[in-house]
Amino acid sequence: MQSRRLTPLDRLLSGVNKALRTVAAPAGRTARENPAKGVDAGELSQSEQSHAAGLMRVNHAGEVAAQGLYQGHALVARDHSVEAQLQRAADEEFDHLAWCEQRLTELGEVPSRLSPLWFAGAYAIGAASGMFGDRWSLGFIAETERQVCVHLEGHFECLPEADARSRAIVKQMRDEEAEHGENAMDAGAAELPRPLKRLMQLTSRIMTTTAYRL
């Protein structure tokens, strides 16, 4: 049975629902098992725990932004297969969001207080870039995922060695982000101009610096 194509209003209402689910409610249970399940927490000093929490808060903020980005792109996607691909990736990204939130709770911390800002900004960027066509939308996704993989690799190296639970989550996220980027390239992503890539890096740096503490 063929699925019904969503109307623009359907997409908008779905986006509002997912926005509320992302920033206004606990992530709760996920469709997939947390990669940290069964992994020993390890002994962390107070400073190590605080640092790990800051990094996981940054990762959570990144996943909030990813939800906004994917939903913004899906809102204006022209090709049904591209829209479906974006929604599948967003579903996996929501698991990442929940895993980070669960780990933050274990570390006695909370997500960034600026989560609504991260979502709204990314949603606007996704919708705006998607207006130029699906190839550019996919190009934006591919470059974002490439930068995210670099960011997650750095976090994997910076997390305390004893924090095996956070490291397990970050490793799984990194592998899946790379897959999302490859899928976008295979679907026909356009290569973004170098100045735009640098602007994306600057924006990401601002978000990560702020979310580490807020």
Domains (range + CATH), the chain:
45-213 (1.20.1260.10)
Cα dihedral: 39, 98, 149, 163 (round 10):
-30
> Which has the higher per-residue pLDDT, 60 or 68?
60
Please state, in angstroms and rounded to a whole number, the distance separating the CA atoms of residues 89 and 9.
21
Q: What is the mean pLDDT of residues 4-16?
A: 59
- Confidence class for position 1, pLDDT limits 50, 70, 90: very low
For residues 137 and 187, the answer to whether their CB atoms sit within 8 Å is no
- Confidence class for position 212, pLDDT limits 50, 70, 90: very high
In this predicted structure, the answer to whether residue 120 has a pLDDT above a threshold of 80 is: yes
Q: Give me the residue label for tokens 């790379």.
A: 178
10 Å CB burial of residue 213 (0-12, 13-18, 19+) is exposed
- Confidence class for position 134, pLDDT limits 50, 70, 90: confident
Please state, in angstroms and rounded to a whole number, the distance separating the CA atoms of residues 10 and 7.
5
For residues 143 and 204, the answer to whether their CB atoms sit within 8 Å is no
The pLDDT score that the predictor gives to residue 67 is: 84
Least confident of 1-15, 42-56, 160-174, 193-207: 1-15
The pLDDT score that the predictor gives to residue 158 is: 92
- Cα separations (Å) of 39 from 29, 163, 167, 168? 18, 10, 10, 8
**Residue 126, C-beta contacts closer than 8 angstroms, at least 6 positions apart:** 68, 69, 70, 71, 72, 73, 75, 137, 140
Long-range CB contact pairs, 82-89, < 8 A, 24+: 82/134, 82/137, 82/138, 82/187, 83/6, 85/183, 85/184, 85/187, 86/137, 86/141, 89/141, 89/180, 89/183
Longest dimension (CA), the chain: 55
Q: What is the mean pLDDT of residues 108-112?
A: 93
Tokens of 200: 């994306």
Please state, in angstroms and rounded to a whole number, the distance separating the CA atoms of residues 64 and 80.
24
The pLDDT score that the predictor gives to residue 25 is: 55
- Confidence class for position 72, pLDDT limits 50, 70, 90: confident
Distance from first CA to last CA of the chain, Å, rounded? 47
The pLDDT score that the predictor gives to residue 2 is: 46
Least confident of 79-83, 123-127, 148-152, 192-196: 79-83
> Which has the higher per-residue pLDDT, 136 or 162?
162
